[in-house]
Chain A
Amino acid sequence: GAVVSQHPSRVICKSGTSVKIECRSLDFQATTMFWYRQFPKKSLMLMATSNEGSKATYEQGVEKDKFLINHASLTLSTLTVTSAHPEDSSFYICSASGMVNTEAFFGQGTRLTVV
């Protein structure tokens, strides 16, 4: 399958700082990228959908000013957690899709710990 690379895989940051997570599609052009978060022993929760060159669409209850998403090119999307707090500690996962009704491929995830 296609390769989606997420960086970093783990990050620890201090409360109040911002953290940027990158998601790259390495061997295909991703017209749509999705961002999820997952708490321990829970399922993935969709946070937002981003299409290249346009603003992201956020799911209900997800603060767009706290979770900034940029999808500036067909191979890169970034999620910035601004003014992080301990409750933002979670496993963040991106996925990328080339076309509608085709499979999406997932990154390996980023474990964020806010101390």
Chain B
Amino acid sequence: DAKTTQPPSMDCAEGRAANLPCNHSTISGNEYVYWYRQIHSQGPQYIIHGLKNNETNEMASLIITEDRKSSTLILPHATLRDTAVYYCIVSNEKLTFGTGTRLTIIP
């Protein structure tokens, strides 16, 4: 599976959009981009995934660059409950977790 690079931590003000970047320059053609988050001492929660088109669901939007070498997860209106570690994973089979981004929402 391709490796991903994410900033170790980010802060975002409550109510603002949180934009979490991810680099995956070695992604191959059949690998999807997945985003999960983990709140302390819980199992990871699925957020969104995509192949090459931008995706949106009730939780977030996923913007994938045209060359697919990077992506951005957007939480449109961050709340305190969005504080978590966010993992960007590229895969066509098993999910291998990197170190993720620790997002802290500031009141």
Can you name 19 A-B pairs with beta carbons within 8 Å?
A6-B43, A43-B87, A43-B99, A44-B38, A44-B97, A45-B97, A46-B95, A46-B96, A46-B97, A93-B43, A95-B43, A100-B92, A101-B92, A103-B34, A104-B46, A106-B44, A106-B45, A107-B43, A109-B41
CA distance A49 to B44 in the complex (A): 17
In the complex, per-residue mask of A16-43: 1 if CB is within 8 Å of any chain B CB, else 0: 0000000000000000001010000001
In the complex, per-residue mask of A29-69: 1 if CB is within 8 Å of any chain B CB, else 0: 00000101000000111100100000000000000000000
When the two chains form their complex, are residues B100 and A43 in contact, meaning their CB atoms are under 8 A apart?
yes
Q: Which residues of B line the A interface, CB within 8 A?
A: 32, 34, 36, 38, 41-46, 49, 87, 92-100
Interface residues of A in 86-115 (CB under 8 A from B): 91, 93, 95, 100-101, 103-109, 111
CA distance A44 to B44 in the complex (A): 9
Task: List chain B residues, Cβ under 8 A from A44.
Answer: 38, 44, 97
* Interface size classification for chain A: 20 to 34
When the two chains form their complex, are residues A93 and B44 in contact, meaning their CB atoms are under 8 A apart?
yes
When the two chains form their complex, are residues A1 and B46 in contact, meaning their CB atoms are under 8 A apart?
yes
CA distance A100 to B49 in the complex (A): 13
Min CB–CB distance B62 → chain A (angstroms): 12
Which of B45, B93, B97 sits near A43, CB closer than 8 Å? B97
Min CB–CB distance A107 → chain B (angstroms): 5
CA distance A43 to B96 in the complex (A): 10
Task: List chain B residues, Cβ under 8 A from A49.
Answer: 93-94
Min CB–CB distance A74 → chain B (angstroms): 18
Contacts A34-B95, A46-B95, A100-B93 given; does A106 touch B34 at CB 8 Å: no
Task: List chain A residues, Cβ under 8 A from B93.
Answer: 49, 100
Which of A100, A103, A107, A109 sits near B46, CB closer than 8 Å? A103
Min CB–CB distance A110 → chain B (angstroms): 10
